[in-house]
Structure 1
Amino acid sequence: MLTRLLTTSTLLPLLRPSSRLMSSSVGLSIPHAKSSLLTCTCVCFDVDSTVITEEGIDVLASHLGKGSEVSEWTSKAMGGNVKFEDALSARLGLIEPSKSSIIECLKIHPFKLSPGVEKFIETLHEKNVDVWLVSGGFRIMIEPIAEVLNIPKDNILANNILHDEEGNYVGFDSNEPTSRDLGKPAALNMIKRSKGHESVVMVGDGATDAQAKPPAVAFIGYGGVQDRESVREKADWFVYDFEELTEVVKGRE
């Protein structure tokens, strides 16, 4: 019988809970992260591999036949191995996306939301929490996502690809805070100053998101798409499922 063939060593991997099942116990200060979610007035989200299941620039690069070269730079940037501005410049220099090619890419390959994120953001809105998308990705690709999630376009801080009158790529706006290293803490400070928020929580999957604390009072890492050890080690709470966060927010007064 099958049960006689299962030795103790065979059973051990089956008995060990996976990291995903243990996600609620991972983090530097989970009670602090939960308390912050219960009291903050603003939650800022990374977009790529957090709100959506892919890296937008990698999808665009693949559409333009430069997928492997660009994904290498993306991995370096998200792992914190190179300055973000260097990786951004290198990736855009490889693909030089025209405006028409970006629009075509979005039509052929619409982005998918991460499981549970729509409900989480809906719950934040119900509790009158200000929601922002703070991304090293591109506004032209993020605005359709914001529309689906009922997030105003004014609540997006992201990079702008520059095109000439014919729609040809000519560069990117280096004045955007998210175009450079340590851009996300700068972006969150801008949000705090302009909106008067005293308590902001950052949610994301990458090294640039972890950099946002401070000024964020808590950093919640998301590993449902990319599980990065370097991010897990810096997160106050590291989760694989947005449902865990939704349940906390439901407890707000």
Structure 2
Amino acid sequence: MPNSKQYTVVVMANFEETQRIWCEADAVCFDVDSTVCTDEAIDELANYCGVGRQVAECTKAAMGGAMTFRRALTQRLNIIRPTRDQLANFMIDHPPNLTPGVRELVQLLQSRNVPIYLVSGGFQSVIERAAEELEIPSSHIHANKLRFFMDGEYAGFDETQPTSESGGKAAVIKRLKDKCGYKKLVMIGDGATDLEACPPADAFIGFGGNVIREKVQSKAKWYVTDFEELISTLENGAAQEIDH
């Protein structure tokens, strides 16, 4: 029993610290697929190109830890092999499906002059449309970039992007902190790669509004399924500051 009581105190302290950092954040990084947007862009692109089943099997193997993120990305894109025209048509036919509440949350953060970044293992060109809707500058997107030959055929992806390999999100956050001097940077996401980006992120908030990942839910100090919880916490924190 003594050990159980001690464990509860530690968990509550971590949760409260995460909430405090959230209310005082000087930068926020969002994952995109299944966080800012409701779906996974690479799976939707695979379905659009008629190879959804094959890519889903590869994704399942990757999620099980059978391969590195870069190898999984390479294999999935080699199956899809999207042309420039296919990608352009996909983006026309599939406008960003923003998660409920994310627009309001982003607007609230922007009203507090908190810089927002989109850090994703997805594709820059696809994410730019969501960023435009949320009025996030394209320079604040850190994601993978597809390459095409002169005739528009698929030519691979930019392997110099840190988000194309395991640990890439942590590398992006470290660069942001080193460059901009952020002291209370918060990462929000649904996946293990988001969880693993803290540290160097100062706090991590797990998001399960679109899909619940058991590992993230069990290890996150603060786990939410609705962005309204983050909004209300910010607003209540601001009200308490005024009262004092």
Same fold (TM over 0.5): yes
The aligned counterpart of 1:21 is none
Out of 44-53 and 195-204, give the one that drifted further: 195-204
Alignment correspondent of 2:96:
111
Q: State the alpha-carbon separation in 2 of the partners of residues 141 and 194 from structure 1.
A: 26
Closer, same or farther in 2 for the Cα pair 1:28/1:74, shift >3 Å? Answer: farther
- Partners in 2 of 1:171 and 1:88 — Cα distance? 10
CA distance in 2, matches of 1:58, 1:166: 25
Separation of aligned partners in 2, 1:166 and 1:197: 43
Match of 1:30 in 2: 15
* Aligned equivalent of 1:151: 136
Of 123, 129, 152 in structure 1, the residue corresponding to residue 108 of structure 2 is 123
AA aligned to 1:244 is: E
Bigger RCO of structures 1 and 2 (CA < 8 A, at least 6 apart): 1
Residue 203 (structure 2) pairs with residue 229 (structure 1):
no
Instruction: Provide structure 2 residue ranges, at least 5 long, that are not aligned to the other structure.
Output: 1-10
| Larger helix percent | 2
TM-score (norm 1): 0.86
Q: Does 1:205 align with 2:171?
A: no
Secondary structure of the structure 2 residue equivalent to 1:220:
strand
Q: 1:187 is matched with which residue?
A: 172
**Equivalent-residue separation in structure 2 for 1:170 and 1:72 (angstroms):** 23
Does the C-alpha gap of structure 1 residues 194 and 79 become closer, same or farther in structure 2, counting only changes over 3 Å?
farther
Distance 1:234 1:113, change over 3 A: same
Classify the secondary structure of the residue corresponding to 2:119: strand
Match of 1:39 among 24, 29, 40: 24
What amino acid maps onto 1:59 in structure 2?
E
- Quote how far apart the aligned CAs of 1:197 are: 1.1
| Equivalent residues of 1:73, 1:87 under 8 A apart | yes
Sort the Cα spacing of 1:198 and 1:229 in 2 relative to 1 into closer, same or farther, 3 A: same
Matched, 1:83 2:68: yes
The counterpart of 1:138, out of the listed 123, 130, 134, is 123
Rounded to whole Å, the distance in 2 between the matches of 1:132 and 1:191 is 10
| CA distances 1:186-231 after superposition (whole Å, capped 9, x unpaired) | 0101111222212211000111111100001111111111101011
The aligned residue for residue 34 of structure 2 is: 49
Number of equivalent positions: 228
State percent identity of aligned pairs.
45
What's the Cα RMSD here?
A: 1.7
Unaligned stretches of 5+ in structure 1? Answer: 1-25
Contact persistence 1:79–1:230 (CA under 8 A): no
- Matching of residue 246 in structure 1 with residue 231 in structure 2: yes
- 1:71 is aligned to 56
| Cα pair 1:78 1:206 within 8 Å, conserved | no
The structure 1 segments of at least 4 consecutive aligned residues displaced by more than 6 Å after TM superposition are none
TM-score by length of 2: 0.89
Q: Note if contact 2:208-2:223 (Cα within 8 Å) is conserved in structure 1.
A: yes
